[in-house]
Structure 1
Amino acid sequence: MKRRKRIKILFNRQNAFAMALLLLCLSICYWQLNSEVKLLTPEGFKQGVKNLGVLGPLVYISILTLSVVVSPIPSAPLAVVAGAMWGSILAGIYSVIGGFLGSLIAYFLGRTLGRSAIKALTGKIIYFSKQRGETYLSWLIFITRLLPIFSFDLISYAAGIAGLSLPKYAIATFLGMIPSTFLLTYMGGVFELGMPLGIAISIVFPIILIGLPWLIRRYNWLGMKDVFRVE
């Protein structure tokens, strides 16, 4: 009787949908890695999307969505290339949409499938403590979106596993990712135009975005190591 109940819980409609969604993402990623047109690489993306016309932005949004769920896909270089192709504003809007949709899918997978399934997917055990309350976690997520302190996908999965409120998670993610996303697309735009001041800014800001997160992790500012842990 207990075994039947466990099987029923495991194969309910929500879990089945989550598994189907995950398998779809993995299948697309596998197909792309073995396809002649490498849309998941900056060079292949630039050549492939140019031939798609008006469908290019939709393909780009889909790739960024997939990149959050399947982390080996390099989303940051693709955002820079997108900035060179469509300009910083349009590329920034497309990038925010794609990244945000991917974060919601990863959150849903974490909340539905749980820690064991995410470990099988990522090879890592993720812990997100709610002892300090959801408001604190929301601010923490906002900061991790603003600065690349931790992997985008791991934070998304961890928030879902911990059962963080969806509205709080979504707002923190959306607002936090806007500045860094537009910075990446701006870098692509200024490199394409060859603006000296813009290029200088694009060199300085990545140094800050790499150095500051390292200091935060190194000295445990904001008590992040007490709340978020990856093994």
Structure 2
Amino acid sequence: MTDQEPARLRSAAPEEPSAAAQSGRRAAVAKAALLVLALGVFTAAALLLPLPSVEEIRNLVAGTGWWGPIGFGIAYAALTLAPVPKNVLSIGAGVLFGFGPGLLIVYTAAMAGASAAFWLGRRLGRDAVERFTGTRVARFEAVLDRHGFAAVVGVRLVPVLPFTAINYSAGLTSLGWWPYLLGTLIGIVPGTASYLALGAFGFESGFQAELAFAVLGVLTLAGIACAVRLRGSNGRADV
């Protein structure tokens, strides 16, 4: 064996991960675990803490003046961090505050919660996605890079899609902050207004309630059509 052969064998052997790479992997795993833990805590708190009835909240709001709507908005924003039904909360806001004030409270709180969940996902989970998924999500993220704003608007228009899951998932992807923010600002308006109308005007037969139900149905169909169109455009781009 010549002196050059050991060198060639050493160069052909797979390189061991550097200490910096191993440290980066451990940090990514630790942050992802922290995100899972936070989600578990949020979910447990939402499920275990007793929720007051609408009448109890109404009495509380009436006795606290301006602090009532502010407190409701803070609670709504906090609950968006846990996978609990937000549509029920929106209907409750319509019952408690009426359509106009309720829409302002819920819309502001929903945007605050959506922003917080996005950045939690981005700061704690994005590094792990990049390190451990590799090219497996590259195609999906390429669609987001091209159609991020339209994709966000499309999924937000479908009122039955889980609001919280979309928030965290967007943070885990390469989706930019501004397409996410603007798409959410626009996409949640019709559905939020429809659920507020159901609470404010009631479920009895009437123009307002019928219009709210009709809008929710149209939004669902529009969101599905948008998703199908984006998928088709992505398929043509890959050809």
When the two structures are superposed, what TM-score results if normalisation uses the length of structure 1?
A: 0.70
CA distance in 2, matches of 1:216, 1:7: 37
Going by fraction, where is helix more abundant, 1 or 2? 2
Maintained 8 Å contact 1:68/1:103: yes
What is the SS of the residue equivalent to 1:131?
Answer: helix
CA distance in 2, matches of 1:180, 1:226: 27
**Change in 2 beyond 3 A, CA 1:135/1:2:** closer
CA distance in 1, matches of 2:233, 2:121: 20
Match of 1:221 among 210, 229, 234: 229
5+ residue gaps, structure 1, are 119-125
**Change in 2 beyond 3 A, CA 1:132/1:2:** closer
Amino acid corresponding to residue 92 of structure 2 in structure 1: V
Higher mean Cα deviation, 162-171 or 203-212? 203-212
CA distance in 2, matches of 1:225, 1:61: 39
5+ residue gaps, structure 2, are 1-18, 130-136
What is the SS of the residue equivalent to 1:113?
Answer: helix
Counterpart check, 1:67 vs 2:79: yes
In the TM superposition, 1:33-52 aligns within 5 A as: 33-35=47-49, 37-39=50-52, 44-48=53-57, 50-52=59-61
Q: Deviations over 1:99-151 (max 9, x none)?
A: 11111122112212226989xxxxxxx99822135351111101211223632
Maintained 8 Å contact 2:126/2:172: yes
Match of 1:139 in 2: 150
Percent identical pairs in the alignment equals 18
Maintained 8 Å contact 1:127/1:158: no
**Change in 2 beyond 3 A, CA 1:128/1:74:** farther
In the TM superposition, 1:41-190 aligns within 5 A as: 44-48=53-57, 50-52=59-61, 53=64, 54-71=66-83, 73-114=84-125, 129-132=140-143, 134-148=145-159, 150-190=161-201
Match of 2:23 in 1: 5
Structure number with greater Rg is: 2
